[in-house]
Amino acid sequence: MTTAVKYDEIEFVSGGATCHAWHFTGQGAAYDGETGRPVVVMAHGLAGTKDSGLQPFAEGLAAAGLDVLAFDYRGFGASGGEPRQTVSMAGQLEDYRAAMATAARLPGVDAHRLVLWGVSLSGGHVIAAAVGRDDVAAVVSLTPLVDGMAAGRHALAHHKPSSMLRSTVVGVRSKVGRTRMMPVVARPGELGALTLEGCLEDYLALAGPTWRNEIDAAVGLELGNHRPGRLAADVAAPMLVQIADFDRSAPPYAAAQAAFAARAEVRHYPCDHFDVWPGKEWFEPALAHQLTFLQHHLG
């Protein structure tokens, strides 16, 4: 079980929008160095908000001695910015880099020991954000979505073609005309971004007060061009890639390819995409592996 750790609320600006974040201060001196503690920069996946399952991860890392900055992307959760509930890959990566700059300025933090932590969609963002940086000391990528085209092919194995076609048509209409919203999660056969059996229940179990079950339908078109896995070989920092072997949302083979290119440490879990989250069987092992990895490289 993780230990409750208090946090401070802070804000930073990215792309003209005010982003909201939580700062957890590391407990104890396990990671203290002459220039301060490492700091983990943490963000959620598709349409996720920091109050939807990130806090137990952050608390576990902070209890071990690491500072953590968990933030909401612009247009989501407690952050400002317009349009709301619209995923922009470039915008989210810009937000992530702004969060890194903010984390480096936190009191007691070693600005040259940043840890990039991402899950699902942000599991790909951390790869792109780490490239070309000498201040990134480690990367943690949990059940990452690293190739949008591969994810599309993967989805065909689990969805009816008619359902995917309907989502695509609505997405194109949203892209070229008036913005159209659809649910983030819905039941099988309904219109939504995630409609696999069990996804609705799994996501709602995590959902915090700022989360909204709607997203710009054009998200599928954004995902098609999202291929951060191609950059994995350019990441110099040690990387941990955690793969759910029966992941129906983020193709595990694409994550494995990115991990191989990055010469990453890999951990496998015999479960689906949401089974590594708090309240699920594989949360504690996933967090424990993150702590072991970070202790080895940063402790």
The average pLDDT across 90-106 equals 98
Q: Is 221 within the bounds of a domain?
A: no
- Among 56, 67, 70, residue whose Cα is nearest residue 32: 67
Residue with more model confidence, 219 or 253: 253
Interstrand relation of 67-71 and 37-43 (parallel, antiparallel or unpaired): parallel
* Predicted pLDDT at 121: 96
User: Does the pLDDT value for residue 144 go beyond 60?
Assistant: yes
What is the rounded CA–CA span in Å between residue 200 and residue 123? 21
Q: Is 274 within the bounds of a domain?
A: yes
142, 252, 259, 225 alpha-carbon torsion, rounded to 10°: -90
* Predicted pLDDT at 223: 86
* Predicted pLDDT at 164: 52
* Residue 214's pLDDT band (cuts 50, 70, 90): very high
CATH number, domain with residue 249: 3.40.50.1820
| Tens of pLDDT, residues 145-165 | 999 878 677 655 555 555 555
| Contact yes or no for 286/242 (Cβ under 8 A) | yes
User: Does the pLDDT value for residue 40 go beyond 80?
Assistant: yes
How many domains does the chain contain in total? 1
Tokens of 127: 């790869």
Find tokens 């970070």 and name the residue: 294
Q: How many residues does the chain have?
A: 299
Q: Is 196 within the bounds of a domain?
A: no
The average pLDDT across 266-280 equals 97
User: Does the pLDDT value for residue 136 go beyond 90?
Assistant: yes
* Residue 184's pLDDT band (cuts 50, 70, 90): very high
* Predicted pLDDT at 224: 82
> Which amino acid is present at 141?
S
Find tokens 């099988």 and name the residue: 188
Q: Is 157 within the bounds of a domain?
A: no
| Tens of pLDDT, residues 10-29 | 999 999 999 999 999 999 98
Q: Is 1 within the bounds of a domain?
A: no
* Predicted pLDDT at 218: 86
Q: Is 136 within the bounds of a domain?
A: yes
User: Does the pLDDT value for residue 3 go beyond 80?
Assistant: no
Find tokens 């001196």 and name the residue: 29
* Predicted pLDDT at 191: 86
Q: Is 165 within the bounds of a domain?
A: no
Percentage of residues of the chain with pLDDT beyond 70: 90
Q: Is 171 within the bounds of a domain?
A: no
Q: How many CB atoms lie within 10 A of CB 203?
A: 23
Q: Which residue segment(s) compose the domain that 139 sits in?
A: 7-147+227-298
* Predicted pLDDT at 169: 53
* Residue 294's pLDDT band (cuts 50, 70, 90): very high
User: Does the pLDDT value for residue 131 go beyond 80?
Assistant: yes
* Predicted pLDDT at 232: 98
